[in-house]
Chain A
Amino acid sequence: MPVPPLQRGIESIVAELLRVHVLEAVLARPEVRRGLSPEAVERIRRDILDRLKASEEQGRDHRGEVEEVLDAALGAAGPAGAMIKSLLKAGWDHLSPSDREAG
């Protein structure tokens, strides 16, 4: 079944967030360190990183559609929607600086 463009866009955004902010935190968790050998952690890190980057790239062109949907939904919610939108934008800018890279 083909993946809808909206979901591709969301997947791309989620993948970037996971790659930049979550991956290292998860791999550093005590239960992960106790359950896996350092070599296994390294193997998994590389594999997951590749997958996340692929998801990011595949959906990059569809990110605009996520924005459109949010615009439409928040526009319908009036002034409160505009405020939520500006908060979301500030949050995204903070979480996803273009120059930040990992791995």
Chain B
Amino acid sequence: MSGAIDLVVMTWRLRDMGRVRSIAGVLARHGFADIAARMGPGAWARGVFRALLRRPRSSPIPVEKRLRLVFEELGPTFIKLGQMLATRPDLVPMALVDELTHLQDRVPPFPFQDVKEIIESEMGLPMAEVYAEVDEVPIAAASIAQVHSATLRTGEPVVIKVQRPRLNEQITADLRILAGLARLLESRVPETRPFRPRAIVEEFTKSLQRETDFVAEAASMGRYRKMFEDEPGLVVPRSYPEWTRRRVLTMERVEGVKVTDRQALVAMGLDLKAIVDVGMRLTLRSIFEFGFFHADPHPGNFFVGKDGTIILLDFGMMGTIEPRRVDEMLAFMVAVLTGDVDMVVDQLLDADLIGDDTDLRGLRSDLRSILFRYSDADLGSVDVAAFLQEVMAVNIRHHVFLPADLLLVGKSIATMEGIGHQIYPEFKPLDAIRPYLTEVYVRRLLDAKRHSQVVARSVMDGLTLLKDAPFDIRRVLRKLRRGELTMTLRSADLESRQQHTAAVANRALLGGLFATFFFGAVILLDQGGTARTVAGWVSAGFSWMFFLGLSWSLLRGDGR
């Protein structure tokens, strides 16, 4: 297993050496020279991780800020990785989470010639056959794509989102490097295992692949539009599937001002409170009614139309929650928001999120002190983001494993609260959140249709089981009679012992080969003659190679 890991690492190292070097350069420039130095040959993962955790004293700029600058400079993959880590206070320190929320996803635009080439290569048509007009100056440029105003040949005003050139190649190389690094960390640095670096990179890879597929984004827009058909306060632009491809998304052009441009909103004579209320309601409904929500809810994706409708953009990163998980989250949130400590802990236990080493009494006591403090506060004065952050921090301290989707939900609500405060400072989020969540919770508990679906499924499963049971029992009995019944047991301990045994065998083999070729070389060289001397030196070469292999394996001390 560990041999396979080395092979993977070697592969990415050779293939991506140029990129690894440029990452090292960026790290060095931002005061992480000690990490950059470890990016050369050799086992450096442990060093990289420890160096990251160590706070260098030489730079006056805080390490969190320098890390943020590194992410920005390394481009799309790392900007997106930073954005993901900003939603994971369970993985990275809170100071870094705060800093990463300020990641700038703004980059210089790429030339219009590239825009044209990408459109034509994706559509398989000259650009002029699709669009009557395309504005050469982009409306916005970000790390994944840039956006241009255009008009379809049918006369409809649209915007086109065009992916950056060669983005896929760059992301693929970066993901390969990250995957290699994650494997190294997990195999060589035991203290990183609880953070499951491989699982994080896999999750991140999937999310980034979805985000760079604009056909999937168009589908998400369609789904979101349908979900909120009954909501007059929301506009989701319509996409044009016939003019949408993996790297080009064509959608309806909707005019609006940024939701955070308070002055413009006031000048338009809009009811700011109503806008904030609708924004919060939409956020909560998307999560708790539909289980499908905007996972990148930064203010840049919210606009407001002339009539006060909210215009939501960028559906590249969407969160999905299973109905069962929605129930768990609802119960958890209701328990937290109503200050019911026992229910909070029960929910965590039911969802199997509490580790074996958690001190339940300590967890209850810490939660009680926070919830008690907030229960005394005036609803309007509660900062929901800070409150949820405190609850999360207690959970993390007590080794409660908080799932990524729950954290994303918390982040989504907190972002909406932030937007609300920005444009309407008197906004009282808990006034809206608490009754809403409690009502949805009650309605779900008493939803006959939903329960009947579960019962019907169980009945059908039970019937299938009953139908198949006699046949299955007969088959097992027949095998038992013939002595053909086999059982497979797996043991993690047994596997590690097998790995160790294989490693010892490898070393013995290397030692044997070294000795054979070494003594062979000595004998051949001793006998003299041209042919024997040549063969002797060849044999000596082999013995030297096996000696190096054996020394390498012993020096690494990991059994290879």
Residue of B nearest to A74 (CB): B466
Against A, the Cβ 8 Å flags (1 = close, 0 = not) of B137-167 are 0000000000000000000000000000000
- Judging by beta carbons under 8 Å apart, are B337 and A35 in contact? yes
A31 to B343, CA, bound (A): 9
Q: A88: CB under 8 A from chain B?
A: no
- Judging by beta carbons under 8 Å apart, are B435 and A51 in contact? no
A22 to B559, CA, bound (A): 61
Chain A residues within an 8 Å CB radius of B434: 35
Residue of A nearest to B453 (CB): A7
Given contacts A7-B453, A32-B442, A35-B438, A69 and B338 within 8 Å (CB-CB):
no
A51 to B448, CA, bound (A): 9
- Judging by beta carbons under 8 Å apart, are A35 and B448 in contact? no
Against B, the Cβ 8 Å flags (1 = close, 0 = not) of A21-45 are 0110011001110111100100010
Whole-angstrom distance between the Cβ of B181 and the nearest chain A Cβ: 44
8 A-B contacts (beta carbon < 8 Å): A15-B448, A22-B445, A35-B337, A35-B434, A40-B439, A44-B443, A52-B446, A55-B448
A15 to B443, CA, bound (A): 13
- Judging by beta carbons under 8 Å apart, are B439 and A14 in contact? no
Q: B462: CB under 8 A from chain A?
A: yes
Which B277-308 residues sit within 8 Å CB-CB of chain A? none
Q: B339: CB under 8 A from chain A?
A: yes
- Judging by beta carbons under 8 Å apart, are A6 and B456 in contact? yes
- Judging by beta carbons under 8 Å apart, are B439 and A36 in contact? yes
Q: B61: CB under 8 A from chain A?
A: no
A58 to B119, CA, bound (A): 54
Whole-angstrom distance between the Cβ of A67 and the nearest chain B Cβ: 12
Against A, the Cβ 8 Å flags (1 = close, 0 = not) of B417-452 are 000000000000000001101110111011011011
Given contacts A30-B340, A31-B335, A52-B446, A73 and B466 within 8 Å (CB-CB):
yes
Which B48-80 residues sit within 8 Å CB-CB of chain A? none
Residue of A nearest to B439 (CB): A44
Against A, the Cβ 8 Å flags (1 = close, 0 = not) of B340-384 are 100100000000000000000000000000000000000000000
Q: How many of B's residues come within 8 Å of A, CB to CB?
A: 29
A6 to B452, CA, bound (A): 10
* Interface size class, chain A: 20 to 34
Chain B residues within an 8 Å CB radius of A22: 445-446
Which B198-233 residues sit within 8 Å CB-CB of chain A? none
Against A, the Cβ 8 Å flags (1 = close, 0 = not) of B436-480 are 011101110110110111011001001100110000000000000
- Judging by beta carbons under 8 Å apart, are B443 and A37 in contact? no
Q: A48: CB under 8 A from chain B?
A: yes
A26 to B437, CA, bound (A): 14
Chain A residues within an 8 Å CB radius of B339: 34
Known pairs A13-B452, A15-B452, A34-B338. 17 more at Cβ < 8 A?
A4-B456, A10-B455, A11-B452, A14-B455, A18-B451, A26-B445, A31-B343, A31-B438, A34-B340, A35-B437, A36-B435, A36-B442, A40-B439, A44-B443, A51-B448, A56-B448, A73-B463
Chain B residues within an 8 Å CB radius of A27: 442
- Judging by beta carbons under 8 Å apart, are B459 and A69 in contact? yes
Q: A83: CB under 8 A from chain B?
A: no
Q: B84: CB under 8 A from chain A?
A: no
Q: B334: CB under 8 A from chain A?
A: yes
Chain A residues within an 8 Å CB radius of B442: 26-27, 32, 36, 44, 48
- Judging by beta carbons under 8 Å apart, are A30 and B338 in contact? yes
A10 to B434, CA, bound (A): 32
- Judging by beta carbons under 8 Å apart, are B456 and A10 in contact? yes
Count the A-B residue pairs with Cβ separation under 8 angstroms: how many?
A: 80
A52 to B447, CA, bound (A): 8
- Judging by beta carbons under 8 Å apart, are A31 and B340 in contact? yes
Residue of A nearest to B457 (CB): A7
A30 to B446, CA, bound (A): 16
- Judging by beta carbons under 8 Å apart, are A14 and B462 in contact? no
Chain A residues within an 8 Å CB radius of B448: 11, 14-15, 18, 51-52, 55-56
- Judging by beta carbons under 8 Å apart, are B438 and A32 in contact? yes
Whole-angstrom distance between the Cβ of A87 and the nearest chain B Cβ: 15
Chain B residues within an 8 Å CB radius of A48: 442-443, 446
Chain B residues within an 8 Å CB radius of A30: 338, 340
A31 to B340, CA, bound (A): 7
A23 to B456, CA, bound (A): 21
Chain A residues within an 8 Å CB radius of B455: 10, 14
Chain B residues within an 8 Å CB radius of A37: 435
- Judging by beta carbons under 8 Å apart, are B343 and A40 in contact? no
A66 to B445, CA, bound (A): 23
Chain B residues within an 8 Å CB radius of A95: none
**Top 6 A-B pairs ranked by shortest CB distance?**
A35-B438, A11-B452, A15-B448, A34-B338, A31-B338, A10-B452
Chain B residues within an 8 Å CB radius of A44: 439, 442-443
- Judging by beta carbons under 8 Å apart, are A35 and B466 in contact? no
Q: A77: CB under 8 A from chain B?
A: yes
Whole-angstrom distance between the Cβ of A73 and the nearest chain B Cβ: 5
Q: A82: CB under 8 A from chain B?
A: no
Whole-angstrom distance between the Cβ of A68 and the nearest chain B Cβ: 12
Chain A residues within an 8 Å CB radius of B438: 31-32, 35-36
A44 to B442, CA, bound (A): 8
- Judging by beta carbons under 8 Å apart, are A35 and B334 in contact? yes
Chain B residues within an 8 Å CB radius of A69: 459, 463
Chain B residues within an 8 Å CB radius of A34: 338-340
Residue of B nearest to A48 (CB): B446
Q: Which of A14, A23, A40, A73 has the most CB of B within 10 A?
A: A14
Whole-angstrom distance between the Cβ of A92 and the nearest chain B Cβ: 14
Chain A residues within an 8 Å CB radius of B335: 31
A44 to B459, CA, bound (A): 30
Chain B residues within an 8 Å CB radius of A36: 435, 438-439, 442
Residue of B nearest to A49 (CB): B446
